[in-house]
């Protein structure tokens, strides 16, 4: 496997979270495919994993939240298209596919190569190697599905990029019409906590982070155009808390109370 960069290497963090949840907290997320892949991951990842329950479930909660938005979209738009930006080793297709929609997974070339080793493309699934912030992927999707409603997901991606770059991407997406975008983000206080504590706990203190959102409406105004906020909700609102450690429950409650981490969905 080619050596990954600092940001790309974080693709293992959500996988470890999904494995942990599947083994210990299936009420939050059960991912059969992640469990199957456990033995294929680098052995030192499992052996040296020093995360606590909260950080592991933070990753699993992102997947659970994304699943909820995807499933809701496909209920409304069963013939819609799903595009996952910064897909890494996500296994969403295996959890949410409705046997009708088409899926695209976008990431950097060496990440796609590694993904293809572990997760070969399936029926109605296309891997696109390239920059999530370029127009190449959306032009290809719109060429193949010119009129289809599209849901773009960006899980754990935007944190690592400056605001102007994220806004440019969201403006670009808006130019292609009939699109929804869902992503996780933090507010300013949440960004401070991620830099000081969370990224160290997951073993990536050297990953630089920039983007945060205090208000989805303010973000929509910066994007301009006909952008509508569909959802802005606390990250753990719909995450079951039964059976969790008290420290994990407290951390989730504090995060939600101060809106430190949130899910945002926009219609462009």
34-72: buried (b, 16+ CB within 10 Å) or exposed (e) per residue? beebeeebeeeeeeebebebbbbbbbbbbbbbbbebbee
So what's the pLDDT on residue 225? Answer: 85
Give the residue carrying structure tokens 């109370």.
257
**The whole model's pTM is what?**
0.91
Q: By CB neighbour count within 10 A (0-12 exposed, 13-18 middle, 19+ buried), where does 100 fall?
A: exposed
So what's the pLDDT on residue 197? Answer: 63
CA distances from 224 to 157, 174, 181 (A): 22, 9, 15
pLDDT single digits (tens) 65-94:
999 999 999 999 999 999 999 999 999 999
CA distances from 232 to 23, 195, 205, 264 (A): 30, 22, 28, 5
Tokens of 186: 């933090």
Q: What is the enclosing helix (H) or strand (E) of 163?
A: helix 163-174
Local structure of 132: helix, strand or coil: coil
Alpha carbon 261 to its chain's center: 13
Bridge pairing between strands 261-267 and 179-186 = antiparallel
Local structure of 127: helix, strand or coil: strand
One pLDDT digit (tens) per residue for the chain, 268 residues: 444 444 445 778 899 999 999 999 999 999 999 999 998 887 776 655 678 999 999 999 999 999 999 999 999 999 999 999 999 999 999 999 999 999 999 999 999 999 999 999 999 999 999 999 999 999 999 999 999 999 999 999 999 899 999 999 999 999 998 999 999 999 999 888 876 665 555 555 556 788 999 999 999 999 988 899 999 999 999 999 999 999 999 999 999 999 999 999 999 8
For the chain, report the end-to-end CA distance as a whole number of angstroms: 38
So what's the pLDDT on residue 129? Answer: 97
Beta-sheet strands, E only, within 87-208 = 102-107, 125-129, 150-154, 179-186
So what's the pLDDT on residue 200? Answer: 54
Dihedral pair phi/psi, residue 265, rounded to 5°: -125, 130
- Tally Cβ neighbours within 10 Å of residue 256: 17
So what's the pLDDT on residue 49? Answer: 67
pLDDT single digits (tens) 130-143:
999 999 999 999 99
So what's the pLDDT on residue 2? Answer: 44
For residues 189 and 207, what is the distance between their CA atoms, to the nearest angstrom?
Answer: 18
CA distances from 128 to 3, 87, 104, 183 (A): 20, 10, 7, 19
Residues with Cβ within 8 Å of 200's Cβ and at least 6 positions away in sequence, in order, are none
């Amino acid at each position: 496997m080619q050596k990954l960069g600092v940001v790309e290497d974080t693709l293992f963090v959500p996988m470890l979270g999904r494995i942990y949840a599947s083994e210990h907290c299936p009420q939050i997320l059960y991912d059969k495919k992640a469990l199957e892949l456990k033995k294929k991951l680098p052995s030192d990842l499992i052996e040296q994993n020093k995360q606590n329950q909260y950080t592991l479930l933070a990753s699993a909660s992102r997947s659970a939240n994304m699943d909820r938005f995807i499933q809701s979209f496909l209920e409304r738009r069963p013939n819609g298209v799903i595009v996952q930006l910064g897909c890494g080793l996500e296994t969403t297709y295996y959890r949410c596919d409705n046997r009708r929609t088409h899926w695209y997974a976008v990431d950097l070339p060496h990440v796609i190569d590694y993904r293809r080793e572990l997760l070969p493309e399936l029926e109605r699934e296309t891997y696109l190697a390239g920059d999530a912030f370029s127009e190449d992927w959306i032009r290809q999707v719109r060429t193949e599905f010119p009129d289809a409603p599209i849901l773009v997901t960006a899980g754990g991606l935007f944190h690592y990029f400056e605001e102007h770059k994220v806004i440019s991407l969201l403006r670009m997406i808006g130019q292609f019409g009939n699109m929804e975008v869902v992503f996780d983000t933090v507010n300013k206080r949440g960004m401070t906590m991620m830099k000081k504590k969370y990224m160290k706990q997951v073993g990536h203190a050297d990953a630089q982070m920039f983007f945060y959102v205090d208000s989805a409406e303010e973000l929509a105004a910066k994007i301009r155009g006909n952008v509508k906020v569909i959802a802005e909700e606390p990250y753990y609102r719909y995450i079951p808390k039964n059976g969790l450690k008290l420290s994990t429950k407290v951390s989730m409650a504090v995060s939600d109370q101060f809106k430190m981490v949130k899910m945002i969905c926009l219609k462009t």
